[in-house]
């Protein structure tokens, strides 16, 4: 047996609409039956009033005779009667509470108000016969209203889950698409049903799997290529060291280029390992004096440091690389006007801030400066991997990195690392 979600989307919506219309039609039928029931009551009382009229004395008869005839009908039925002249003069006795004269009543209908149980009938001689019957007509309208409310509630109860199920699956798909767009290559959506939404979810999962495989393949290829470059670089470096003295200048230039290439290869390998950190153990997380690391890096380039004493569980080699890359990036664009701050955060992690007074970063470029091989200018030094490594190292430690321009010029890079284990 097919489930509703196995049907095409347009059929699901169509069935929901048909269900709602069916309930409206049912409500209309009930209303019609109620109105028809009212008409039948009017017809019945009109017939009954005609029978009473045939047994009443004429209008010229004594009042006592007319009243006695009315009393006779009251004894034989459960109804109460009142007989008035056309001018409103009472011709029969009344029990308490008295039945009022129907001043604005229409002959052949109910009077006083919509829930009244009194029926007025005009005799041929213009006298008015009022019958108050024992059927409780006051409760019946409220019963009808409750019935309408119940039907309306049924419409909501039936239609809302159907509509919500349709939109919930679309929302789940939307969240997965957004997650994939933010870099979560493992984002997938649960496939429910075989309708258009289910087929779209399955297509998304297949596409996400292909994208993840492609990205992982590129990372592996880059890491393998970088690793293979190590051996020829080592041979070139050894050969340059054996050059004769008359070629010392060329040898020095060659060795400098080799060192730059070697550093680039090392950065690529580190970045590749960090991006595949789910399957690769990059390094040990040990109790490390974060303040001492920052002090060493700042002292080596004579940068001012303001720091609290912090010891935390990190990969010391990666954390040193993170600090060095941020400081070198700031010095490259701002000269000597660089300050570093290190302090604890309320969650017992730490915040590393590197401020400079350089040209700042265009707002349109802020989202891209942490991408691998991306540089603001093509004329400066650097491989374009420094800030990408900063982001990957911070994420490897469960943190993040952000940047914003400073008032008065310059940029401020902030690395926030949460508590992995804090030693104070």
* Strand residues in 3-84 grouped as ranges (E): 80-84
Residue 256 has pLDDT above 50, yes or no: yes
pTM tops 0.95, yes or no: no
Peptide bond into 222 cis (omega under 30): no
Compute the mean pLDDT over every residue in the chain, rounded to the nearest whole number: 76
Query: Tens digit of pLDDT for each residue in 409-418?
Result: 899 999 999 9
Chain segment 201-244, per-residue pLDDT in tens: 888 888 888 887 777 766 666 666 666 566 666 777 676 666 65
The residue extents of the domains of the chain are 4-140, 196-275, 286-417
- For 196-275, CATH number? 1.10.287.130
Average pLDDT over residues 345-365: 90
- Nearest by Cα to 138 from 163, 174, 113, 175: 113
In percent, the amount of the chain with pLDDT more than 70 equals 64
pLDDT, position 244 = 53
pLDDT at residue 110 in the model: 52
Range of weakest confidence among 79-88, 147-156, 204-213: 147-156
pLDDT, tens only, 28-41: 666 666 655 556 66
Mean pLDDT of 120-128: 81
Q: How far apart are CA 297 and CA 323, in angstroms?
A: 7
Give the span between the Cα atoms of 332 and 335, in whole angstroms: 6
- Residues 6+ away with beta carbon under 8 Å from 254: 236, 240, 243
Going by the DSSP 8-state scheme, the letter that residue 90 receives in this structure is B
Which pLDDT belongs to residue 350?
Answer: 95
The pLDDT score that the predictor gives to residue 289 is 93
Across the range 176-196, mean pLDDT stands at 82
Looking at residue 198, its pLDDT comes to 83
Spell out the CATH class of 286-417: alpha beta
Radius of gyration of the chain (CA): 46
CA distance 376 to 387: 12
Q: 251 vs 65, which has greater pLDDT? A: 65
Q: Answer with the residue of higher pLDDT: 223 or 112.
A: 223
- Omega cis (within 30) before 97: yes
Higher pLDDT, 388 or 292: 292
> How do the residues of the chain divide into helix, strand and coil, expressed in percent and rounded to 5?
55, 15, 35
Q: How far apart are CA 58 and CA 123, in angstroms?
A: 10
**Where is mean pLDDT largest: 70-84, 92-106, 208-222?**
70-84
Task: Single out the residue of 1, 24, 11, 20 nearest to residue 166, CA to CA.
Answer: 11
Q: What is the pLDDT of residues 273-295, one digit of tens each?
A: 666 655 444 457 888 999 999 99
Least confident of 163-177, 317-331, 339-353: 163-177
């Amino acid at each position: 047996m097919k489930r509703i979600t196995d049907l095409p989307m347009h059929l699901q919506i169509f069935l929901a609409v048909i269900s709602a219309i069916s309930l409206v039609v049912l409500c209309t039928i009930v209303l019609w039956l109620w109105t028809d029931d009212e008409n039948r009551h009017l017809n019945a009382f009109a017939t009954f009033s005609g029978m009473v009229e045939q047994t009443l004395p004429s209008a010229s008869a004594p009042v006592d005779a007319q009243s006695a005839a009315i009393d006779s009908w009251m004894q034989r039925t459960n109804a109460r009667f009142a007989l008035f002249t056309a001018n409103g003069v009472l011709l029969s006795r009344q029990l308490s509470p008295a039945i009022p004269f129907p001043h604005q009543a229409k002959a052949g209908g109910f009077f006083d108000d919509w829930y009244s149980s009194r029926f007025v009938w005009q005799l041929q001689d213009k006298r008015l016969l009022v019958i108050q019957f024992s059927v409780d007509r006051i409760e019946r309208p409220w019963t009808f209203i409750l019935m309408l409310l119940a039907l309306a509630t049924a419409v909501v109860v039936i239609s809302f889950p159907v509509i919500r199920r349709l939109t919930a699956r679309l929302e789940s798909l939307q969240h997965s698409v957004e997650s994939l767009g933010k870099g979560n290559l493992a984002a997938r959506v649960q496939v429910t049903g075989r309708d258009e939404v289910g087929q779209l979810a399955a297509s998304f999962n297949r596409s996400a799997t292909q994208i993840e495989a492609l990205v992982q393949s590129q990372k592996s290829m880059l890491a393998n290529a970088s690793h293979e470059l190590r051996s020829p670089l080592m041979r070139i470096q050894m050969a340059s060291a054996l050059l004769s003295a008359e070629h010392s200048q060329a040898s020095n230039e060659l060795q400098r280029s080799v060192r730059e290439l070697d550093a680039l290869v090392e950065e690529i390998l580190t970045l590749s390992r960090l991006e595949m950190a789910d399957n690769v153990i990059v390094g040990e997380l040990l109790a490390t004096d974060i303040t001492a690391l920052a002090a060493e890096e700042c002292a080596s380039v004579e940068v001012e440091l303001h720091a609290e004493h912090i010891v935390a569980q990190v990969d010391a080699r990666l954390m040193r690389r993170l600090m060095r890359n941020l400081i070198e990036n700031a010095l490259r664009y701002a000269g000597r006007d660089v300050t570093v701050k290190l302090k604890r955060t309320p969650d017992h992690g730490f915040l590393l801030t590197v401020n400079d007074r350089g040209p700042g970063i265009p707002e349109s470029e802020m989202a891209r400066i942490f991408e691998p091989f991306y540089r603001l200018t093509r004329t400066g030094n650097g491989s374009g991997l420094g800030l990408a490594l900063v982001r990957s190292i911070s994420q490897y430690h469960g943190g993040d990195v952000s940047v914003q321009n400073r008032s008065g010029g310059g940029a401020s890079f902030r690395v926030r690392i949460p508590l992995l284990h804090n030693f104070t």
